[in-house]
Amino acid sequence: MKISYSIPIGPVHPALKEPVMFEFEIEGERIVNVDFKVGHVHRGIEWIGMHRKNPLQILPIAERICGICNISHPFAFCIAVENAAKIDVPDRAQYIRTIIAELERIHSHILWAGVAAHEIGFDSVLYLTWRVREKVLDLLEYLTGNRITKAMFTIGGVRRDITEEQYPKIREALDFYKKSFEKLKHVFLDDKTVKLRSRDCGILTKEDALKLCAVGPTTRASGVKKDVRVDFPYAAYGDLDIDYITPDILTGEVRGDVYDRIVVRLLEVKQSVEIIEQCLDNMPDGEIMFEPKVAKLLALLKKASGDGVGRAEAPRGEVIHYVKMREQDTPYTWKVRAPTYNNLMPWIPMLKGEQIADIPIVAASTDPCLSCTNRVAIVKDGKKEIVTHEYLHKLSVEKTRRLIG
Amino acid sequence: MSEKILTAEELAEEIKKRFGVKDITIDKKAVGVKKRERVNLWIKGRREILKDLVKYLMELDYPHLAIISGSDLGSTVELIYHFSIYYGRKYQEIAINFSIELPKNDLTVPTICDLIPGALVTEREKQEMLGIKIEGIPDDRRIFLPEDFPEGVYPWRRDETGPDKMIRDLYEVREDED
């Protein structure tokens, strides 16, 4: 007789952005059903914005919605407010916004690649990729004064310029990433171990990706061409030569598995480097802010009335912010939607039918920051047994060892 | 799905004709040096046409539902469904923001999960945050609010069902004894 178990996993480490509680129903090693609960660190940020803060005060909060997407949220929020208040952003600011957003994508994707390697027990690759990532963080510190929260954005522009004297350092870093790209590509895509663990694992079909409204590299790896930068011009993206990245560009086919998600992210690192180069080559002159005087800007925002939607392509997919302005200090409504919100449901088809040892890599493959699953409880006949994240990780490492023999 | 791609104006006309909607705003914004345009369609509709509108959009292209946003406007609760179609075609995406107002004495709206299964997370969120009832929702549990959050309090509401008392009387909140 088959006995099914229920395994709750999570909630994850509160320091990370999307903590999720998973409950798996398993038969032997195989997952037959998946359920999840989110909201463990729902901080009521939207409420704070709607009731306590003016748009400029919201910016630092928006920047702290997520540590890694700390540009995407202010980006989308600024666009939403600018749309609602009919503010035009100077072209130069649009290019600077684009450069900073793409630098963020480089660091985020490389960070993810390291985490993915760690999940399958390939820690030497984790160290290699995170060493490669340091360069972009150093560059961000050089350009903005900080490695993570950069405080670059303001309503109607950016707060710091990127000058000609800074170009050589940017170009040097871009050359470094062009060189590292080949190496990373070889390590991730030609390696037998990575292939064994990621090929045909955690498949999301194109149909499911569409129906479940998946976004970002998760949906593109399933062959859905959806990228806000190309679909819906914002910032400088309408001026640039960019296209959708799907795995068939490199491999000639779309399987929608974990491997394809690695392919898409790696190619996007290369694409980001090219985007920044295009921005540097075509950087227009001019102002970087619509209104440098804060009091004047706030007075203008206080008079604004209307709805605005801001969309930006974050490293994990589309971020969308909605604001309703009603001639008052605070926005009347502020709705934030991060990409993982839409990438929750796709986990169900991805994880069904896989083994327990595949949970870490499949769950991490949508890049949800779920890699910090802190404990696992196994429920059997009403008795709860808690096992650690280390144990789950050990299972994953053992599977890799078993496969390579 | 039809091959022909409608422009924002054609789409607005078609929606006006099919659903008897009067209030449609086409919001075009040109950005960058090349002044490429992006198009937002703002439609003020009624809940009765919601499902038919989604079905119509599905004839054109599989609509992506980004989010449903919501506001308490006093006597009504407004929901805005943020759809987009024609993604995957360079610079041709049209964002469709479909808003409906629900009177406070009848806060119900039909689910669209049968058409777009990915709407489930956002529909569950609207139920717990705004106290509306999504009719026919496949899973009506809470999603973001904790299980011990009081019933009948809806964080985004601005009336007596809002969280004001909880915030004002924070001292009443005690840690669980366990």
Interface predicted TM-score (ipTM) of this complex, two decimals: 0.94
The alpha carbon of residue B14 is apart from the nearest alpha carbon of chain A, in Å, by: 22
| A307 to B37: CB separation less than 8 angstroms, yes or no | no
B88 contacts in A (CB within 8 Å)?
224-226, 231, 244
Give the closest of A230, A236, A322 to B90, CB-based.
A230
Which has more confidence, A356 or A129?
A: A129
Q: Give the pLDDT confidence score for residue A375 in this predicted structure.
A: 35
| Statement: residue A370 has pLDDT above 60 | no
pLDDT score of A33: 86
pLDDT for res A377:
41
**Nearest CA of chain B to the CA of A322: how many Å?**
7
Does the structure show a pLDDT above 80 at A198? yes
B69 contacts on A by Cβ (under 8 Å): 322, 333, 335
Q: Please list every residue in chain A whose beta carbon sits closer than 8 Å to the beta carbon of residue B90.
A: 230-231, 243
Inter-residue contact B129 to B156 (CB < 8 Å): yes
Question: Which range among A113-122, A274-283, B128-137 shows the weakest confidence by mean pLDDT?
Answer: A113-122
Can you give the pLDDT at residue A19?
A: 66
With CA atoms as reference, the chain B residue closest to A50 would be B156
Model pLDDT, residue A163: 94
Q: State residue A331's pLDDT score.
A: 94
What value does the mean pLDDT take over residues A188-195?
90
Residues in chain A: 405
A39 interfaces chain B, CB cutoff of 8 Å: yes
Choose, out of B28, B37, B38, the residue to mutate when testing the contact with A (most A CBs < 10 Å).
B38
Q: Could you tell me which chain A residue has the CA closest to the CA of B72? A: A333
> Residues A49-62: what's their mean pLDDT?
92
Helix (H, G, I), strand (E, B) or coil at A55: helix
pLDDT at residue A15, as a whole number? 28
Using CB atoms, which residue from A89, A309, A335 is nearest to B40?
Answer: A309
The confidence band for A8, taking pLDDT boundaries of 50, 70 and 90, is low
- Antiparallel, parallel or unpaired: β A20-27 and A4-9: antiparallel
What is the value of pTM for the model shown? Answer: 0.91
Per the prediction, chain A carries an average pLDDT of: 87
The pLDDT, as a whole number, for residue B175 is 60
Residue of A nearest to B114 (CA): A211
* pLDDT at A11 (0 to 100): 58
Residue numbers in B near A332 (CB within 8 A): 71
Characterize the bridge pairing of strands B108-110 and B133-135.
Answer: parallel
- Predicted pLDDT at B98: 97
A41 to chain B, any CB pair closer than 8 A? The answer is no
Sign of CA dihedral A127, A132, A134, A137: negative
Any chain B CB within 8 A of the CB of A220? no
Structural element, H or E, at residue A110: helix A91-119
B-chain residues near A214 (CB < 8 A): 118
For residues B96 and B173, the model is more confident at B96
Contacts 24+ apart (CB under 8 A), A99-102: A99/A162, A99/A170, A99/A276, A99/A279, A99/A280, A100/A71, A100/A140, A100/A143, A100/A144, A100/A150, A100/A152, A100/A158, A101/A71, A101/A72, A101/A75, A101/A235, A101/A312, A102/A272, A102/A273, A102/A275, A102/A276, A102/A279
Cβ pair A130, A123 in contact under 8 A: no
Question: How many CB atoms are located within 10 Å of the residue A205 CB?
Answer: 16
> In this complex, which of B62, B118, B145 lies closest to A39 when CB atoms are compared?
B145
The alpha-carbon gap from A126 to the nearest alpha carbon of chain B, in Å, equals 32
A187/chain B closest Cα distance in angstroms: 30
pLDDT range class, residue A379, cuts 50, 70, 90 = very low
CB contact under 8 A, B27 and A83: yes
pLDDT of residue B11: 95
pLDDT at B90 over 80: yes
Q: Taking a C-beta distance cutoff of 8 angstroms, is the pair A19, A12 a contact?
A: yes
User: CA of B105 to nearest chain A CA: how many angstroms apart?
Assistant: 22
Q: Distance between the two ends of chain A, CA-based, in angstroms? A: 31
CA-based nearest distance B120→chain A, Å: 8
Give the pLDDT confidence score for residue A22 in this predicted structure: 77
Q: Cβ of A230 and B91 within 8 Å?
A: yes
Q: Do B92 and A309 touch (CB under 8 A)?
A: no
pLDDT score for A14 = 31
Chain B, nearest residue to A206 by Cα: B62
All residues of chain A having their beta carbon less than 8 Å from the beta carbon of residue B71 are 324, 332-333
- What integer pLDDT is reported at residue A258 of this predicted model? 93
Q: pLDDT confidence of A266, banded at 50, 70, 90?
A: very high
Return the minimum-mean-pLDDT range out of A82-91, A327-336, A395-404.
A395-404
Which of A39, A224, A333 is facing B88, going by the closest CB pair?
A: A224
Residue B164 has pLDDT above 80, yes or no: yes
What element of type H or E holds A378? strand A375-380
Q: Work out the average pLDDT over B135-155.
A: 90
The minimal CB distance from A232 to the residues B67, B70, B93 is found for B93
Which positions 99-158 of A are in contact with B (Cβ < 8 Å)? none
According to the model, what pLDDT value does residue A9 have?
A: 66
- Asked if pLDDT for residue A318 goes beyond 80, the answer is yes
- The shortest CB-CB distance from B31 to any of A44, A235, A337 is to A235
Is A341 near chain B, with CB under 8 Å? yes
User: In the structure, what pLDDT confidence band is assigned to residue A1 with cuts at 50, 70 and 90?
Assistant: low
Average pLDDT over residues B153-173: 87
CB within 8 Å: B36 and A238 = yes
